[in-house]
Each structure stands twice: as structure tokens, then as C-alpha cells.
Structure 1
């Protein structure tokens, strides 16, 4: 099949949020037809999708309908009924990343087990099912401890830091008690958190992006700086980790590998995301090929693109502020007047405090310059709930 024929393929995306929207923007540049499945009628991707199936993410019949209409399926988040995806794969449907990848990654305990079995360094962890289990694990790991829900968590949700034995019962109840599958991770007093975006094509070709250094606020990614301020030795180790992860999960498409840099300069893999990631948004302006274009290339068997960093880049999330309500963008003109600033508004209709409503990216000749400009621009723009 010639490459020009591939653009006749119809791509189905489960999810019509900002990641789906940014996938579509690049897919359309290459001539693909895109169908989304999302329960929100005016989701961010709605206005640019060729078709929109309005259905819940757990609607098995709707997912089957998406498969019937599509040549291949991808997804923008992990919380999907993996069983229906496995059934569709067994019937010959193409799903990338594969249902196997998703099934393992959906459960943090299974994810860590697979990584550990393949000798990829991770924080120490144990499954727990009661406050007594947590206290027993604390005798081995010490306090503080990180209690995590094995499934369903994101942006800090599903995590509870336990500072002492007195906090065990509260954290256990907070995360669902006996109703939830829980695990404990040894707390890592890390120097930095970094992430690396990596791509693998259908033919096994792999390519990695420059490493980002991440800052979180209230468990939500606030800023990513690229390149990360780490040694060349750690950069090489991180790149090798990312490639090993792609091999372990037989990954097709974009994967994000989040890692801790410990106080003694060791790398520990924290979590894997089988999709384009918030910390890779810088690649839209910062790299020759964005993570979204790369994902589309990878899942459609096109050659992977160049991941070279064009200039140092800083990405900052624009989080909802004020009260919950109809989204109102304030200060866009002022932010765009700052040198080198690019603003992405996700067009979510409702803003609420802490919700990811957009992001801005600055590229400059130096990382310090990009950081200063990003700070200036982020002070000028706001997306808040409009007063009723």
C-alpha cells in the first residue's frame, strides 16, 4: 500500500476532549477522516470531527458502532471498558495502543508488577486491603507512605499521602475503603519529576522526544520545561527506560513515561500513559513533529517524524479559576502580546477551579528567557466561570 492510500483510513477516537481535538488537528492536515465518541455534545473536538457519536464511554454498543465506522480506533484517556476493546480486537478490529497495553496500564499495581518483572526500576510497592495492611507495610517502608487506588485515578485523584499511623484510617476511607483495590508505594523524596514522550510504529520503529522537567501544583501539572536540567547520563538512561517500556507493552502510538529523579540521582519510573500527554504539549511549537502528529503517524503505519527540539520551550497549563460556571476567557489579547507566546484554548463550555481549560507555550533562545516570558503571559490570561 502506498502512503497516499493510508490517508483514506477512518480513525475512530474514544474521547473528544482536548487531546482528541489536538489529534484531529494533525490528522486532518494529513487527510484522515475522524470519528469521535464522547457523551458531551459540545466537547472540545466536536466542531472539527467529521462525525460525533454522542454516547457514554461505557456504552459497549456505541463503541462497537464506532468500530464499524472506523478502520482503526485509538483513545485519549485510559478509563475505558477494556473488555469490549479486547472483543473487538479478537474480531479483527485494529486498536492502538492495543487492548493488552491498556489493560495492564489501567491497573497501577499490574503496571508496576510488569515493569518490575522486566527489571525497570520503580518505587517499592505492595497491595493492601485494610488499615492493618497499611500499618504493617509502614513497618517496612516507613512514613510517609503514598496510598493509591489501583484504578481510575488521575491528576492526583485516587492518591492519599499518609504522614503517620494516625492518618491511616482517614486515607483508607478517603480512597473507598474495602470497596476499592488499593496499593501502597514507598514515598520517594525526589529532586525532580521528569517525563519523556516516546513513539513506536507498527513496524517497531521507535523515536523519543527531548525530556521535560515537570512542576505540579495541587497534584496537577502546572509547568513543563524542556530540555530538563539533568545530566547527559540521566538523559540516556531515561531514553533507554522509555524504549524498554515501549517494548514491554508492545506499544503502538505515543506513550508518556513519568519518572522521579531521586536524591542520589537514580531514576524510578512512576507511571505510564498510553496516549499523548499533557507534559508533551510543548512539542506542538517546540519540536519538528508534535506528539499528536506522531501518534497519528504511528497508528496509521506512516514513517515516524523528527522529534528534534527547535528551541527551548516552556509549557504552562491554564487552569479554571473563580467559581464553576460558563467559561469566560479573560486577557487573551494581553497574553498573545508577549513575545513568543502561543495560546491553546480547549473550548470547554464549563470552567471550574483546577480544570484544565487551556495551555500556553513559549519558545525562546534560552530556557531562562522562555520561563520569564511564560510566567509573564500566565499572569495575564485567565479562564473563569462566568457570573450568572
Structure 2
């Protein structure tokens, strides 16, 4: 029988997610090639080969596929048509191109979920300002206006509080050029996320539910286990299993959900890849989301996902000054018991750019949160 760890893995993207995939893949002796336009991207120093090319360069993507037995990706904004051609030629792409195509367009994603009877906020396509006004009559204000493709970390979203803000939001999201959708605004009590893995053979493993906090629409903190009732946690896990079956995903998927005041769950968005809210699993679980993704796409058995200890993850965001990144306070932060620091190695700092993260494991979530707050006050990344 062929040793699956003799396979070459190709990753489209060489950012922090790609870097953390490689770190786990190397433990199991995989060869890993990456494609990324930035010569000194975070994954560059540990990849076996780095193709420096645009994410839209179809010839370069084909070259990566030729050099690899399996293709995967660290973000979903990829040319689906190029990947479809590769699948037709027999190249293995995971998560599958079908699941990627369904998820990368938020309107299509929500439509599929709704058609399957899964709970989502109400939504409508918005091709012009008039249709946004019609949506307001149906949903009332405030509204969420979203780009159907390409958004991340709050980019591609705009809250519309009244009729006077429609024009500004439409222009900000380039509605004349981009497909937009309108969602009803959900005054949620909590946002939670569930990380779930599905293997090539259909086996599934789910991670403990995480509770997320945001700052300026950017994920800032994830606490695990989430401070929700067992009933809500069970419903969230059940929903995650249903979602991954709908999209027949292979690899790691993240399902973000809103918890309403009445403890009702609504699916917000899905990511077909390892996710920021799953970083806690590196220290907090038996098998990290990154190891699990490699196992899933290569045909290895999935690992156990049990939580070892309560854990809190906090992002290290770039400070105000833009320029060559300078990291300060690592010594002081790591002197705090239970603190682990992950510095991504991005050469350039920009305000609110994800430059790293901290995790703390402790006996309780409250204790872990207190320690991570202390550590995050000591470490900073700024521009020189």
C-alpha cells in the first residue's frame, strides 16, 4: 500500500494559514510546495518550493498542480474555472472545486443552505439601489449589505442604518461592478464557530464550539469552550454536521453562527479551510485543525478533537505605524504561565493586519482570558 505521507502537497497561498499547514505536514514527512506572489511570505522559509506568481496566473497554478499530488488552498478567493480544468485533467483538489464554488459566492452559499432547510438570516440579491430600498421595506433598518465574493475581516460588508446611507454603502462596495446581497441585521447575543473536518472516506470529526469576539469587524478573541448552554452547543454541532454533508466537503470547514437572544442559531458564513477561530486547537486540542486538514486531504485517518484544557486565542493585530515589522514584548509575554506566541513573520506591518496570535491554556476559560489579556498588553507589532 502506498505510504500517503510520500505525497507532495501544493498549497495556493503562503500566508499564516499555509505556514501552519506546512508545520504540521512536515511532522508527517510530506513535501509541500506553495504558490504566492509575495517572495518573503510567511510560508516561504519552510516550503520545499515556492512558485512566486499571482493567484490568477493559471499557468503557475497548473505548474503547482504538476509538482503536487494534492492541491489545497488557504483562502477561498481563487479562480474556480482554473481549478475545474485541473480536476477534469485528474488532479486532486481538496476541498473540492464544487464545494469551493458553492461557498465562495455568499449569495449562492446562503441560497443552498436555505434550500436545504438550514437556518440563515433572511437575504435578497441587490443589483441596484432600488433593490436595496425594497429590501429595507421587507427587513426594516438596519440592513447588512455584502459583496457576494471577495470579502474578509469585515471588508466587503456595510451596515445601512437608514435610507440616506444606501448610496454611500452601494458606492463603498462598488455595487456598479460587484454582485451584492442584502441580509437582515441580526442583533445576536453571541457569535460562535464550529470547526469540523471531513475525510476523503466521509469520516467526520468536530471540534469544541468556540465563542468569538470582534474588534472593528476583525476576529480578536476566541474562547473555548464557548459560554453557552449544552443544548445550544449540541444544536451547533448538529448544524455543523448537516452543513458539511450539504457541501460534501473534504478537509477543514469553519461554520460561523449567530446565537440570538432566544438561543436560536443562524448560520452566518462558511469557510472551506482552516480558520482563525480554530487556531486555539494548536495548543488546546489533541489534533490541531492544521494537522487535521493535512490528514483529511491526504486520506489519513482523522485525529481526535478532544479539548485538553480550556483555552483562549487572541489575535495580535498590527499597530498604527506602517512599515517593516518590529516585534516587541515577546519575552515579557512568554514569561506568563500558559502563554504561547505565534508570530507569522509578515515582513510589513499595517494597522489591524493579523500579524500573529497568542493562546493561553488554563484550568478555566475565565483564568485563560485574564492571562491572555495580560500577555496581549505586553506584546506589540509595529512598523519601523
Same topology, TM > 0.5: yes
Counterpart of 2:276 in structure 1 is: 278
Which range is displaced more, 141-150 or 172-181?
Answer: 172-181
Shift of 1:322: 2.4
Counterpart of 2:53 in structure 1 is: 55
Counterpart of 1:89 in structure 2 is: 87
**In structure 1, how many angstroms separate the alpha carbons of the residues matched to 2:9 and 2:169?**
42
Shift of 1:51: 0.6
After TM superposition, the structure 1 = structure 2 runs for residues 279-358 of structure 1, keeping only pairs within 5 Å, are 279-358=277-356
- Give every structure 1 segment of 4 or more consecutive aligned residues whose post-TM-superposition deviation is greater than 4 Å: none
After superposition, the CA RMSD in angstroms is: 0.6
Aligned partner of residue 113 in structure 2, secondary structure = helix
Shift of 1:177: 2.4
- TM-score calculated relative to the size of structure 1: 0.98
Counterpart of 2:32 in structure 1 is: 34
After TM superposition, the structure 1 = structure 2 runs for residues 165-180 of structure 1, keeping only pairs within 5 Å, are 165-180=163-178
Counterpart of 2:186 in structure 1 is: 188
Counterpart of 2:9 in structure 1 is: 11
**In structure 2, how many angstroms separate the alpha carbons of the residues matched to 1:92 and 1:249?**
21
Aligned partner of residue 254 in structure 2, secondary structure = strand
**In structure 1, how many angstroms separate the alpha carbons of the residues matched to 2:358 and 2:217?**
19
Which of the numbers 195, 199, 218 marks the counterpart of 2:216?
Answer: 218
2:238 is equivalent to residue 207 of structure 1: no
**In structure 1, how many angstroms separate the alpha carbons of the residues matched to 2:262 and 2:122?**
16
Which of the numbers 147, 151, 155 marks the counterpart of 1:157?
Answer: 155
**In structure 2, how many angstroms separate the alpha carbons of the residues matched to 1:212 and 1:71?**
33
2:144 is equivalent to residue 146 of structure 1: yes
Aligned partner of residue 342 in structure 1, secondary structure = strand
Counterpart of 2:256 in structure 1 is: 258
What count of residue pairs does the alignment treat as equivalent?
384
**In structure 2, how many angstroms separate the alpha carbons of the residues matched to 1:131 and 1:38?**
37
Which of the numbers 236, 245, 248 marks the counterpart of 2:246?
Answer: 248
Aligned partner of residue 145 in structure 2, secondary structure = strand
Structure 1 residue runs without a partner (length 5+): none
**In structure 1, how many angstroms separate the alpha carbons of the residues matched to 2:116 and 2:369?**
37
Counterpart of 1:107 in structure 2 is: 105
